[in-house]
Amino acid sequence: MLLPTRSLSSFVTTALRIAQSSCNQLLDISVGSPVRALVESVGSMALWLQHLIIQMLLKARLATSSGVDCDSFVEDFGMVRLPGQASTGAVTMTSFISDQISAVIMPGDIVRTVSGLSFSVVKDTALATWSPDIGGYIRQAGTQSILIPVECQVKGSIGNVDAGAIALMGTSIAGIDVVTNENAFLNGSDQESDIQLRKRFPLWLASRATASEMAVGNAISNVQTGISYFVKEGADPSGALRGGYFTVVVDDGSGVPTDDILARVYKSIDEVRALGVGFSVLRPSILVVDVSMTVVVPFSTSVLSAESSIRNVITEDIRSNGVGNGYAYSRLSYLAYVGARVDVSSVLDVRLNGEQKDIIPNGKQTLIVGSVQINVIQK
């Protein structure tokens, strides 16, 4: 709806015309006159009231609300904005004199990136190196390295660091000399945005009264941000047909969601499923995706800039693909030409996992980015 708003000049001009037409004498409406000063002061108040009315109308609808106003709108219906999630992963701690001394790593010990982002050691009793008596992880003498689970101290995608980014010890630990993360951290996610909240709201409302696929999907989405899923109806975990049963494959962006996430997803689905209907919640299988291509650019385009831009856009596109989906081979050329916003003359010798064909979706796999090799040639 387009509101018929007015400017201060419009308010003042209209008021002066009405005042002059209603008076049988000529009014002095020159700048600085009492009549004009009075009209301008009233016009300023009208402009302020118009602004308040517009703000009230914007905040009265979810589609035009933002920030805390979005939160208060959905909270009236019992829905809340999903918080951000801290990234998690494993780091390798190594000793140069492993045969002479053991080491104990306690939950809460800190490791850092060069930029100062901190990660703390977390407790995982399932690991063989965990000692319940000591309450920490033990690197035995003679063992050079130990794998330790850590969690970013800052929630959000800022914790999604590249392999090798964690390189500093924030806590001095006897028997540990260096630390690194051999794999990238990918499962950190930011707080749900206003756009994502608006998109989820109608699904949340629709799921209140139905034990449908939409209700199941909403239940999964409510667990945390950054979750993707695939629901296969009428099939058990092995893929065999089974009536009154469905299987859910869930990924948090890492490819290996924790037992805690799977348990939370299971509990959330269990609250909305129909009576007598069974289901399973599974981790996805991992398919590493390798990409290679040759890109020709004009001499006016930087080789390093083109290579970085194309690699980044392809990497992000594969990561955002979601669980259960395949990937179109033709999309790689499109991203090089259009998605990277680089002046590209031609794209040659494109390979997706060494082949020139699509990755077929199977409902169980999640795609993890392997190597992305972009050979840029100037012509």
DSSP codes of every residue in 123-175: --TTSTTEETTTTEEEE-TT--EEEEEEEESS-SGGG-PPTT-EEEESS--TT
Q: What is the pLDDT of residue 1?
A: 59
Choose among 332, 323, 317, 316: nearest CA to 374. Answer: 332
Query: Do residues 339 and 374 both lie within one domain?
Result: yes
Per-residue pLDDT of the chain (379 residues; tens, 9 = 90+): 577 888 888 888 888 888 888 888 887 888 888 888 888 898 899 889 989 988 888 888 888 888 999 999 999 888 899 999 999 999 999 999 988 889 999 999 999 999 999 999 999 998 999 999 999 999 999 999 999 999 999 999 999 999 999 999 999 999 999 999 999 998 899 999 999 999 889 888 877 767 788 888 888 988 988 899 999 999 999 889 998 999 999 998 888 888 999 999 999 999 888 888 999 999 999 999 999 999 999 999 999 999 999 999 999 999 888 898 999 999 999 999 998 888 999 999 999 999 999 999 988 899 989 999 999 999 8
Q: Does some domain include residue 329? A: yes
Is residue 346 in a domain? Answer: yes
Residues 292 and 274 in one domain: no
Regarding whether 141 and 216 lie in a shared domain, the answer is no
Among 261, 282, 303, the domain-final residue is: 282
How many CB atoms lie under 10 A from the CB of residue 298? 11
Instruction: Indicate if 323 and 337 belong to the same structural domain.
Output: yes
Residue 69 lies in a domain: no
User: Domain containing 226: what range?
Assistant: 194-282
User: Rounded CA gap, 155 and 165, in Å?
Assistant: 17
Query: Does residue 165 fall inside a structural domain?
Result: yes
pLDDT of residue 91: 96
Q: Is residue 78 part of a domain?
A: no
The answer on 146 and 130 residing in a single domain is yes
Residues 289, 371, single domain; the answer is yes
Mark which of 142, 157, 180 sits at the end of a domain: 180
HEC string of 4-31 equals: CCCCHHHHHHHHHHHHHHHCCCCCCCCC
Query: Residue 68: inside a domain, yes or no?
Result: no
Query: Does residue 247 share a domain with residue 321?
Result: no
367 with 339, same domain? Answer: yes
Task: Specify the number of domains making up the chain.
Answer: 4
Say if 314 falls within a structural domain: yes
- In this prediction, residue 151 carries a pLDDT of 95
Q: What is the Cα–Cα distance from 263 to 184, expressed in whole angstroms?
A: 24
Q: State the pairing for strand pair 285-297/241-251.
A: unpaired
Last residue of a domain, one of 23, 43, 60: 60
Residue 92 maps to a domain = yes
| Residues 168 and 225 both lie in one domain | no
Phi then psi for 269, rounded to 5 degrees?
A: -70, -40
Main-chain dihedrals φ then ψ at residue 193, nearest 5 degrees: -80, 170
Same domain for 94 and 171, yes or no, is yes
Q: Using CA atoms, how far apart are residues 239 and 280, in angstroms rounded to an integer?
A: 11
Specify whether 92 is located in the same domain as 145. Answer: yes
The answer to whether residues 255 and 306 belong to one domain is no
